[in-house]
Amino acid sequence: MNCKLLFIAMANGILSMNQNYQQMSFSELRAYVVENREDIEALRFLMSKRDPNYPKYPMPLTEADMQAQMEIIRRKINGEL
């Protein structure tokens, strides 16, 4: 983001340099990011706090991969995983 866009974003309250993400719990920070999707710094901070042991799923490249990923999501929603 160039300086002019950064200034405009800060002036419009889109980016908040005063927000202290370190003092928020993970749940509070996640809720904040959901409500303030344009706050890129909050999103970056949230992503830096991900659990490194959480399973990683590859990007689906084929229709079969997409179906397999949808099955994983369905199972997670139903509490099977």
Q: What is the pLDDT of residue 63?
A: 94
For residue 17, pLDDT beyond 60: no
Encode pLDDT of 50-70 as tens digits.
788 887 778 889 999 999 999
pTM more than 0.75: no
In whole numbers, what is the pLDDT of the chain averaged over residues?
Answer: 79
For residue 20, pLDDT beyond 50: yes
Alpha carbon separation from 38 to 5, 34, 43 (Å, rounded): 13, 9, 9
Average pLDDT over residues 10-35: 74
Q: What is the pLDDT of residue 59?
A: 84
Instruction: List helix spans (H) across the chain.
Output: 3-11, 26-35, 40-48, 63-77
